[in-house]
Structure 1
Amino acid sequence: MTPMIEIDEVTKYFGTKLVLDRVSLTVNRHEVVCLIGASGSGKSTLLRCVNRLVAHDYGTIRLDGVPVDDPRFGKTGLQKRAGIVFQSYNLFPHMTVLENITLAPRRVHGVSRAEATARAQEVLARFGMDGFAQAYPEQLSGGQQQRVAIARALMTKPDVLLLDEITAALDPELVGEVLAIIRGLKDAGMTMMIVTHEMGFARDCADRVAFLSDGMILEEGPPDRIFGAPEQPRTRAFLDRIIASGRL
């Protein structure tokens, strides 16, 4: 397997608070790795460190063999290669769908309006949103807005997609449509690192699952083993709570 993301002994503090404690993890090309764990365990921070939205303090993160803080990425090269989608859609309310998803390619990456529009039409059609190019975010459901946010992240044809709790803000009936999009991306070979509380989705979609607690990866492995026979007591306790709540 070819490593796409290599995280080696990464440590991160916010002030005096240790958020990531010597975390090491590899995500191979075309692989889907889900990060699970309780809120505050460091999952989202780790995801943000991969594309330098948050700078780690110690250790090394490489994307396709190049450290993420390497000047070769420039100001926007890393974000172009590692797209990220958050639980809040972060769409500009005063812009149409088309304007929202073509803004960064045109303004940041220097893509022509014609090229960006053609790419946007292609991506929107892929997600069944081609009839909504001139709609405004307030005219869309939560699931539709999240599909637009995913489409925006794919506009630069990234090597890696980072997904941070993208169903957390959705009504339960809308979760399935967004998860179906992610399954489609997996089938197409997209490399993904996903923070999720959807344990059923992680079990069905992930190639590997990593469980974080107190800023550390306590164990990782295939979903069948992590969910069926976890080795660490804290992993078992976490999953027992999930099962008791009916979420697995």
Structure 2
Amino acid sequence: MTPRIEIDAVTKYFGDRLVLDGVSLSVAAHEVVCLIGASGSGKSTLLRCINRLVEFDHGAIRLDGVPIDDKRFGATGLQRRIGIVFQSYNLFPHMRVIDNVTLAPRKVHGVPRAEAEDRARQLLGLFGMGDHATSYPEQLSGGQQQRVAIVRSLVSKPDVLLLDEVTAALDPELIGEVLQIIRGLKDEGMTMVIVTHEMGFARDCADRVCFLEGGRILEQGPPRTLLSRPENPRTRRFLQRIIDAGRL
């Protein structure tokens, strides 16, 4: 069966600095893959390469067997099929929640306003934000803003969702509510690639965990195996630091 996402020997430089060193990874439809590793290991860059926010130098990335630079995706088709959520919410402060959520579908993808708003209100309701459609970002908590950012990425009905440290900017008491939303997306069958430092979440939610260091995937496997009995000594050292910090 063709993988939903196939990353084939992808290399990326920023100037003279090698950030991704021949990364290869396949993600099946409905699979959840968590990327773990220290800051600077290439995790976030890899996410940005998947939906072409960052152009890579060598290798290939395919969505359902089609190269992501194929003209069949057009100028914005890839971003419609591969949504991304960042650790910073990136909501427009001068726009209401409903307008933040529907801006891209209406202005970029040509979805009629009524259709976009109907879809947005359905999702806001599912995420417990139905009463905040006319609120402004400054009126919301950090957890609420992150939920709006996730709704914004889902309103165009993507096939794949990329999440980049979506709990990093949240207070500890708000992390749980966002992770619960992501677990719900997994239960609904969303294909996701997630960069996270939340090892407990990776253990409970992921189908597979990949450990990156120096722009390479050094080890991957089922979460309970990799997080409990890693084979690579570098993975063991990384996880020991997490344990020592009380985060696993």
Q: Which residue of 2 aligns with 1:4?
A: 4
Residue 242 of structure 1 aligns to a residue whose secondary structure is helix
Cα-to-partner distance string for 1:190-223 (whole Å, 9 max, x where unaligned): 0000000001000110000000000000010100
* 1:19 and 2:9 correspond: no
Q: Residue 61 of structure 1 corresponds to which residue in structure 2? A: 61
Q: Which residue of 1 aligns with 2:122?
A: 122
Q: Could you tell me which residue of structure 2 aligns to residue 175 of structure 1?
A: 175
Deviation at residue 225 of structure 1 after TM alignment: 1.2
Q: Which residue of 2 aligns with 1:222?
A: 222
* 2:149 maps to 1:142: no
Contact 2:2–2:65 at 8 Å: present in 1 too? no
CA deviations 1:20-72 (Å, max 9, x no partner) are 00000011000000000000000000000000000010001001111111111
SS at match of 2:54: coil
**1:1-248 matched pairs, under 5 angstroms:** 2-248=2-248
Superposed displacement of residue 2, structure 1:
4.5
Please give the TM-score of this superposition, normalised by the length of structure 1: 0.99
Provide Cα deviations, 1:130-149, integer angstroms capped at 9, x if missing partner. Answer: 00000000000000000000
- Cα distance in 1 for residues equivalent to 2:133 and 2:187: 25
- Aligned residue pairs: how many? 248
Q: Which amino acid is 1:139 matched to?
A: Q
Moved more, 162-171 or 223-232: 223-232
Report deviation, 1:224.
Answer: 1.3
Other structure's SS at 1:3 match: coil
Q: Hey, which bits of structure 1, 4+ residues long, moved more than 4 A? A: none
- Once residues 63 and 229 of structure 2 are traced to their aligned partners in structure 1, the CA distance between those partners, rounded to angstroms, is 31
Q: TM-score, normalising length from structure 2?
A: 0.99
CA distance in 1, matches of 2:117, 2:213: 43
CA contact (8 A) 2:22 2:216 kept: yes
Q: Give the secondary-structure state (helix, strand or coil) at the position aligned to 1:163.
A: strand
Letter in 2 for 1:88: S
> How many Å separate the matches in 2 of 1:2 and 1:130?
37
Cα RMSD between the aligned structures?
0.6
Q: Output the CA distance in 1 between the equivalents of 2:71 and 2:2.
A: 23
The amino acid that maps onto 1:120 is: A
Distance 1:123 1:224 in 2: 32
- In the alignment, residue 84 of structure 1 is paired with which amino acid? I
Percent sequence identity over aligned pairs: 75
State the shift of 1:12 in Å: 0.2
Hey, what's the Cα distance between the residues in 2 that align with 1:89 and 1:39?
A: 20
Give the Cα–Cα distance (whole angstroms) in 2 for the partners of residues 85 and 71 of structure 1.
Answer: 25
Separation in 2, partners of 1:152, 1:137? 13
Measured in 2, the distance between the counterparts of 1:133 and 1:147 equals 12
Counterparts of 1:151 and 1:198 in 2: how far apart (Å)?
A: 21
| Unpaired runs of at least 5, structure 2 | none
> Can you give the 5+ residue segments of structure 1 that lack an aligned partner in the other structure?
none
- Structure 1 residue matching 2:92: 3-state secondary structure: coil
SS at match of 2:239: helix
The C-alpha deviation readout for 1:120-170, integer Å capped at 9, x for no partner, is: 111101101000000000000000000000000001100000000000000
Which moved further from structure 2: 93-102 or 62-71? Answer: 62-71
